[in-house]
Chains A and B, each alone.
Chain A
């Protein structure tokens, strides 16, 4: 997987919508295209989800949109059973911090059942998780726990960074025969963009990284909630005479190492940005892999910008905790001055 044309082509613009509406459109389209798709989760029916991502679906698709009792293990466990019966469930976990009660069903059941069965069983289950901070929420509502799932063989883990990807990636995830953990940056739910909703299914959207901006001096690698941050930082850097390349990873497991290394070989410098704590985070794996593959092309040690290694702090501290433009550009200074 190298940089594909798809990443650089501007889509046909048809409508302007926020990310949560793009996700809603992807769910609606998937429900229309395949009558085995079902949507389940807490408050996803009549209420339309606490973020309204599933708004209106119950009215149009009836019992295929199911309000679940408040039991996350039950949501994932029953989704596995539905998948074994031939359904294609899309589960909503209401907030990132509430996925842990479902951890066993995800890690020991959903992820492993295919391998345990010697490849006989497929479990096309999509688990949507609003993730990340920046909305002033109470505890357990701002976490970035993707590393747990990336560390689990048998799962695909993806994160969308903009409304068009939200639409394409969710459709592709639902159509995938593998279990997919789908992270949605909740602080960008209301960000608008012009959307192409007419396109064909784009499986590559959950397999390949997206080149957001070409540059020469250093590569910024981000995903989910930090994709826009990296783009903003690159824009500011350009006004200061620095040319930064920006890649939105999109697929967190497996990673598109080919695309990342291709970029790093050109720029010679890499800054990885995620909201999750840096210690044993996804950035550590990427830094190790890129360090091995691009050792002789690197001009500076790889920098990682992320959350600190403390529990997610109270909301009034989160501006200090979360990576921002200043921290990203500070890391850029380090790789440029190394």
Chain B
């Protein structure tokens, strides 16, 4: 299956194909997606710099994957629930999670910064594919409730090798749970390319489980938006759970601790740079005359303000207190936990 594409790398919109999808594509939509992509990219850049300056312990770059995330997160309702992986900053920012909340985990101040219920966006999951099962379970609950909420879960190509991914695809299909599996196939499981991870297309595997599987150009935000919205609405109206494979490329290393030049050439990165999702959307906005220079200047200003806010937010992250971990381990602090915490606090206090 050739990945569905509505906007080519030069920003040319295939109007006939888009209209066939029945989802209106206009300037409002394009500007909304572009804004989320630009802001997400700026946040990612700033966080990367903060890590290089020693302010963050680690950062997992979303560079290159903005269309896959912005297109999909905008295609679902705010009441739809999301189970992210750990590189989904663009989606998280679009869901209203603050820059400080997005950074706290990577400064070592918490394992999960935001309140999932406030954003219908779960905390990140660092063990690959575990969140797919959480998404299916949540969706099973949605179905029992008789609600029309849909659950969307993000993961990468690497995660599809995990047993939990297969268990989740199968469980979702047999329970017909309202879940959309959104795979950002960015080409690499750290250093292992997709051809060393699987021999058949992921969409074929997904279809074999009984999922409603589609393949999209993950660097075409319009295609991602339209196909995600169509899939979500099929699921919402009682269809089989869906699987979307968004073909994209991780333009940076796996993390700030990675050295991608050890395993891939500059050439391949250059090729994908010509497919850049943000450039492509900017070209579309120009071609369709959906945005003028004032728009781009204002957005650039907004992005710089976000970067400044991100730096500020990073420096203002409060130091965590180990005592709070004792209190958060179980719903009530057991006598033994309390005793251990008190001994720790007493010991620590004895040095002051």
Residues of chain A having any CB pair with chain B under 8 Å: 1, 38, 63-64, 66, 68-69, 71, 73-74, 76-87, 89, 101, 104-105, 108-109, 112-122, 153-154, 156, 176-178, 254-255, 257-258
Question: What are 14 sample pairs from A and B whose C-beta atoms fall under 8 A apart?
Answer: A69-B170, A71-B163, A77-B134, A82-B137, A104-B130, A104-B164, A105-B130, A109-B130, A115-B111, A119-B328, A122-B331, A153-B329, A154-B330, A156-B330
Verify B138–A85 contact, CB threshold 8 A.
yes
Contact with A along B115-147 (1 / 0, CB 8 A): 111000011010100101111111111101100
- Shortest Cβ gap from A151 to chain B (Å): 14
Query: Looking at the complex, which one of A66, A77, A118 makes contact with B130 (CB distance below 8 Å)?
Result: A77
Q: Which residues of B contact A104 (CB under 8 A)?
A: 127, 130, 164
- Which of the listed residues A68, A83, A119, A255 has the most CB atoms from chain B within 10 Å of its own CB? A119
Instruction: Give the interface SS of chain B, mostly helix, strand, loop or mixed.
Output: helix
Taking a contact as CB atoms under 8 Å apart, the answer to whether B336 and A120 are in contact is no
| Residue contact B336 to A81, C-beta cutoff 8 Å | no
| Residues in B neighbouring A109, C-beta threshold 8 A | 125, 127, 130, 134
Instruction: Using CB atoms, name the residue of chain A closest to B174.
Output: A69
List the A residue with the shortest CB-CB distance to B124. Answer: A116
Q: Is B334 an interface residue (CB 8 A)?
A: yes
CA–CA, A119 and B134, complex, Å: 18
Chain A residues, Cβ within 8 Å of B337 = 254
Q: Which A residues lie within 8 Å of B83 (CB)?
A: 81
Asked if B142 and A85 make an inter-chain contact with CB atoms under 8 angstroms apart, the answer reads: yes
**Residues of A close to B142: CB separation below 8 A:** 85
Q: How far is the CB of B186 from chain A (nearest CB, A)?
A: 23
Residue in B112, B141, B167 whose beta carbon sits within 8 Å of that of A81 in the complex: B141
> Which chain A residue lies CB-closest to B127?
A108
Other A-B pairs beyond A81-B137, A84-B137, 6, CB < 8 Å: A73-B167, A77-B137, A78-B134, A82-B137, A84-B141, A109-B125
Q: Which residues of A contact B115 (CB under 8 A)?
A: 120
Choice from A38, A76, A84 contacting B138 with Cβ under 8 Å: A84
Q: Is the CB of A177 within 8 A of B331?
A: yes
What 5 A-B pairs have minimum CB-CB distances, sorted nearest first? A81-B137, A77-B133, A85-B141, A78-B137, A119-B328
